[in-house]
Every structure is written in structure tokens, then in C-alpha cells.
Structure 1
Amino acid sequence: MDITPRAVVIPKDTDRLEQGRYGPVFPRTPACYGFTIVADVKPGRAEAIRNHGNTLAKALEGDPHLLAPLKLHYLRWVLFDDDRRFMYQGIFDTDFDKYTEDAVALFTKAGVSTTFENLEGFPEDWRTNPEAFVRFVRERHCPSFVEYGEYPYVTADEIKKALRIKNALSEMLDQLQ
């Protein structure tokens, strides 16, 4: 496996990209797949977004693998412009269509809401209408034009496996001393 750092430029014209069930399939980059959305917060709902973040963190304490079906590397939530706007950034190992379908299924099965419900224009029927969920995200997507990976094209599962091996080797070496 070549782990030479790499960067990929993503074309501005998405008409040339492969089309998935919900629109263009952005290419897998050295940073894997992902998306960034910027959306307006419903008036007075910024604190609900923060609380939802606390709820998510607490749920992950109880079940660290809660979000495992999403094959995530990172999530980042940012409130800005005096809490009037929200940025969601996710980096994951599956394409956008699969991530979206998995997210809707996960939240529906778990019976939990999404913080997106606090955003202007988010569809009330998102649990039964993945197309509306996708449309919301696509309309607010701010695609990157270049992505860089220090360890390119490595999945979250591969990273976790490498860390398990490292820990096992460290334990073994410690026992030999």
C-alpha cells in the first residue's frame, strides 16, 4: 500500500462526474469521501444544536460504536455568524448516497432526531423521504476543490486495525523487557 501523501483537485463542473441515485458522485479523494454544508439556523435554535451535540457525545459514551454504520473518520459542527449559521462537515469511507441512506436508516432505527431539524428548510419528512434529505444537503453543499491526505485512501477500519497491531506489538515488547 502506497502511503505517499497526495492531493486531488475536484472539478467544479459536476456534470462530468458519475451520477448516483441522488446526483453527482464526488470522487474518492486521499481524504476519502465527505461533504460540508452551511445552513441557516432556525431563529432561537442554536442552543438546541449545542444540546444535540451534548446528547450525541453522551450517547457515544454509552455506545462508542453508535455511528459505526456511517464509516466516519471525522465530524465537525460549527455555529458561526452569532449562531445564525451552522456548518456540518463529515469525512467518511462510503460515497454520499450510501452515507445518506445509512444515516437516515440509523437515526430512524435509533428513534433519534438529527440536529439538522434545527436548520431552515430541513424537510419534516426526512425519515421517510431520503430524497428530500439529500436535496437539502445538496442545495447547501459547499464542495471542496482540493483535498489532501497525509495517509491517502486509508479507511477508518484500516486505521483502527493498524492501531490495534501497534498496541499489540507494544504490549509484546513491554513483556519482553
Structure 2
Amino acid sequence: MEIKPQMVAIPKDTGHLEQGKYGPVFPRTPACYGFTIIARVKPGRAEAVRAHGQTLVKALEEDPYLLAPLKLHYLRWVLFDDDTRFMYQGIFDTDFDKYTEDAVALFTKVGASTVFENLEGFPEDWQSNPEAFVRFVREHHCPSFIEYGEYPYVTSDEIKKALRIKGALSEMLDQLQ
């Protein structure tokens, strides 16, 4: 079975999209689902953003599966414009509504804060008010208009399964030698 790379153009007008619990449901693309937000960092909070990243790195060292419920492929954080603005980009397997609800539930369950608390306009009651969390993300979302996948529509679970099979085959072939 050959998997060919694919690209789709996403229209600027989202009025025709199905409406989910929190707004338009963007279609699954060859890169799966995702979103990019850009927001202003609260004055003097850039180092807190960096420190939060380090806290998350340590938490994942202790529990590599901490973020597993989010079905992430990639997560990218960027501080720019002299540390006054922050970009959050996530690529994942679930639709936006589920990802957001899962993220709020996960961080609430483990008693962790979110890096978004360092951003201007982020709701203080985000843990008890997922709608406010979603509203913030939607207001700061910068939708992509082109998405490409070298291995289109493949989930993170499928990738992990393929890698386990590859490892098992490699081990089997090593034993045959």
C-alpha cells in the first residue's frame, strides 16, 4: 500500500463548516487537526513562559505519557517580538472541541497550570470554565490556509504501532542471523 503525500487548501470563509460545541469544526487535513494561536505575553512574564516549558519537560521525563490523552503529534512554542508575543502550535488527532476539553481536564486533574496563564486576556477561571478557555483560543487562533502531510491522515497511534512492528521485525531478523 503506497501512501502519497497530500496537501489541501483551507478556505478563509468558515461559515459553511459544521458547528461544534465551541464554533466551527475545522476539517481533518493531511496533517490531522491542529491550531495555532498568537497572543501577547503579559509584561514581564516571558521568563515564566520559558520556565513553564521546563516544568513540562521535567513532568514528561517523570511520566512520558502525561500528554497522551491529547493525541498530540507535535507541539511548538515560540516567543518572538522581543518576548512580547507567544505562538502555540499543536497538531493532534482529535477535533478542536475534544482537544480543548481534554487539555482542560488533564491540566486540572494533575493540578498543573497552563502556559496560557501568562498571556494577556486569558481567563482566570479556565479550569472551571472551558467555554472561556475555548473563547480565548478561538479569538487568538490564526488558521492555516494550506496543510501538507507526507504521511496524510495517519494518526499518532498508527505511527507508534508501525514503529513497534518495525522494531519487532528488526529484532526477529537480528535473531535469524
* TM-score (structure 2 length as normaliser): 0.99
**1:77-116 aligned within 5 A:** 77-116=77-116
* Runs of 4+ that moved beyond 3 A: none
**1:8-157 aligned within 5 A:** 8-157=8-157
Equivalent position amino acid for 1:156 in 2: S
Taking only the aligned residue pairs, the percentage that are identical comes to 85
SS at match of 1:35: strand
SS at match of 2:73: strand
Deviation at 1:3, TM superposition (A): 1.6
| CA distance in 2 between partners of 1:114 and 1:58 (Å) | 15
Deviation at 1:2, TM superposition (A): 5.5
Deviation at 1:110, TM superposition (A): 0.5
SS at match of 1:91: strand
Partner of 1:168: 168
Deviation at 1:11, TM superposition (A): 1.1
| CA distance in 2 between partners of 1:174 and 1:122 (Å) | 53
SS at match of 2:15: helix
| CA distance in 2 between partners of 1:65 and 1:103 (Å) | 14
| CA distance in 1 between partners of 2:10 and 2:17 (Å) | 10
Can you give the 5+ residue segments of structure 2 that lack an aligned partner in the other structure?
Answer: none
Equivalent position amino acid for 2:62 in 1: G
Deviation at 1:161, TM superposition (A): 0.1
- Superposed CA deviations along residues 78-137 of structure 1, whole A, max 9, x for unmatched, are 000000000000000000000000000000000000000000000000001111000000
Equivalent position amino acid for 1:138 in 2: R
Equivalent position amino acid for 1:66 in 2: L
| CA distance in 1 between partners of 2:8 and 2:18 (Å) | 17
| CA distance in 2 between partners of 1:30 and 1:3 (Å) | 11
CA RMSD of aligned residues (A): 0.7
Partner of 1:3: 3
| CA distance in 1 between partners of 2:2 and 2:123 (Å) | 42
SS at match of 1:16: coil
SS at match of 1:142: coil
Equivalent position amino acid for 1:126 in 2: W
SS at match of 2:47: helix
* TM-score (structure 1 length as normaliser): 0.99
Equivalent position amino acid for 1:149 in 2: G
| CA distance in 1 between partners of 2:3 and 2:84 (Å) | 40
